[in-house]
């Protein structure tokens, strides 16, 4: 059977190492948090075959590339009624899957961050995600405060998920090989899905704080604290955004909008 040609505009780099694929699948299934699992961008099915072999889960597949869809249907005919030939980012997941489900995939580099923000929209339904990203993107999601790569995506994701960097995958494990290494991370939803502050206010504070990350928070947040003279003297505003933990940002949001 002919292989699928990787398409640059879709960010496709097909994983070819079965051992790596199995490690990714095990990263999700070993936690036993969900039965239903959605694989995003299965491509030629290197993860899919291991998902199908695991009888403890109910795997579904979302693929935008019709050449890949045709290949998957021929190679794994049992997925005929379980493949969604569509753009994952445009799906209403609450209509497709009204229950709890996990997400897994060798995510296309060009939409990997958007996938996680989509997950955040449906966090009440998604207790676990295991995904492969460009290494520096994976490190950014998993980084802690004080790190140079700690930023908006780190804080907004870690507010709701505990993130673990699982392992690195070398470029030569893909067809075609990307120009960078890849990293696999696991997100496990925190017990509480609500913050001790207004979520929209929290997002605004985080984004403004990092928008001028070299400046102190007193300057970066000037547009929302300028009318609060007593607040500006708080020593937390002497810090820069990268120095604040998720809880610090929650506390800061409470102070600003109390």
Q: What DSSP letter does each residue of 215-237 carry, written as one string?
A: S-HHHHTHHHHTT-HHHHTSGGG
Which has the closest alpha carbon to 97: 124, 130, 78? 124
- Are 107 and 20 found together in one domain? yes
Q: Which two tokens stand for residue 124?
A: 């009440």
* Domain end marker among 189, 220, 239: 189
- Are 178 and 203 found together in one domain? no
Per-residue pLDDT tens, the chain, 258 aa: give them. 458 887 788 877 899 999 999 999 999 999 999 999 999 999 999 999 999 999 999 999 999 999 999 999 999 999 989 999 999 999 998 888 878 999 999 999 889 999 999 999 999 999 999 999 999 999 999 999 999 999 999 999 999 999 999 999 999 999 989 999 999 999 999 998 889 999 999 999 999 999 988 899 989 998 888 777 677 678 888 999 999 999 999 999 998 987
Task: Report if residue 206 sits inside a domain.
Answer: yes
- Are 152 and 208 found together in one domain? no
- What pLDDT is attached to residue 97? 82
Q: Which two tokens stand for residue 162?
A: 């505990």
Task: Report if residue 3 sits inside a domain.
Answer: no
Task: Report if residue 73 sits inside a domain.
Answer: yes
Task: Report if residue 194 sits inside a domain.
Answer: no
- Are 178 and 206 found together in one domain? no
Task: Report if residue 178 sits inside a domain.
Answer: yes
Compute the distance between CA of residue 89 and CA of residue 148 in angstroms, rounded to an integer. Answer: 29
Task: Report if residue 96 sits inside a domain.
Answer: yes
- Are 84 and 144 found together in one domain? yes
- Are 177 and 246 found together in one domain? no
- Are 83 and 135 found together in one domain? yes
- Are 174 and 214 found together in one domain? no
- Are 219 and 118 found together in one domain? no
**Secondary structure class of 102 (helix, strand, coil):** strand
- What pLDDT is attached to residue 2? 59
- What pLDDT is attached to residue 1? 46
Do residues 46 and 18 touch, judged by C-beta distance below 8 A? yes
Task: Report if residue 2 sits inside a domain.
Answer: no
Task: Report if residue 17 sits inside a domain.
Answer: yes
- Are 16 and 52 found together in one domain? yes
Which has the closest alpha carbon to 112: 125, 130, 127, 94? 130
The CATH number given to whatever domain includes residue 97 is 3.40.50.150
Helix 246-257 / helix 199-211 crossing angle, nearest 10 deg: 110
* Domain end marker among 140, 160, 189: 189
User: Domain residues for 68?
Assistant: 8-189
- Are 99 and 137 found together in one domain? yes
* Domain end marker among 169, 189, 209: 189
The structure's pTM equals 0.93
The CATH number given to whatever domain includes residue 252 is 1.10.8.100
- Are 50 and 168 found together in one domain? yes
What is the domain count for the chain? 2
């Amino acid at each position: 059977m002919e292989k699928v040609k990787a398409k640059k505009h879709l960010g496709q780099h097909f994983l070819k190492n079965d051992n790596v694929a199995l490690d990714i699948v095990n990263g999700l299934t070993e936690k036993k948090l969900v039965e239903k699992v959605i694989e995003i961008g299965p491509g030629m099915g290197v993860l899919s075959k291991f998902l199908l072999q695991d009888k403890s889960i109910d795997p579904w597949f979302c693929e935008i590339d019709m050449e890949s869809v045709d290949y998957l249907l021929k190679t794994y005919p049992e997925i005929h009624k379980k493949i969604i030939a569509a753009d994952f980012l445009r799906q209403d997941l609450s209509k497709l899957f009204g229950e709890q489900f996990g997400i897994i995939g060798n995510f296309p580099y060009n939409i990997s961050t958007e996938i996680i923000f989509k997950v955040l929209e449906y966090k009440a339904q998604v207790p676990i995600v295991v995904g492969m990203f460009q290494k520096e993107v994976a490190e950014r999601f998993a980084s802690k405060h004080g790190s140079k790569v700690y930023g908006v995506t780190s804080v907004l994701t870690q507010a709701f998920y505990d993130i673990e960097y699982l392992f690195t995958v070398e470029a030569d494990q893909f067809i075609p090989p990307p120009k960078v290494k890849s990293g696999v991370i696991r997100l496990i939803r925190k017990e509480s899905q609500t913050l001790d502050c207004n979520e929209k206010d929290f997002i605004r504070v985080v984004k403004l704080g990092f928008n001028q990350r070299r400046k102190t928070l007193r300057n970066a947040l000037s547009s929302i604290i300028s009318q609060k003279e007593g607040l500006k003297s708080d020593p937390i505003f002497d810090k820069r955004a990268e120095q604040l933990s998720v809880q610090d940002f929650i506390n800061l949001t409470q102070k600003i909008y109390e």
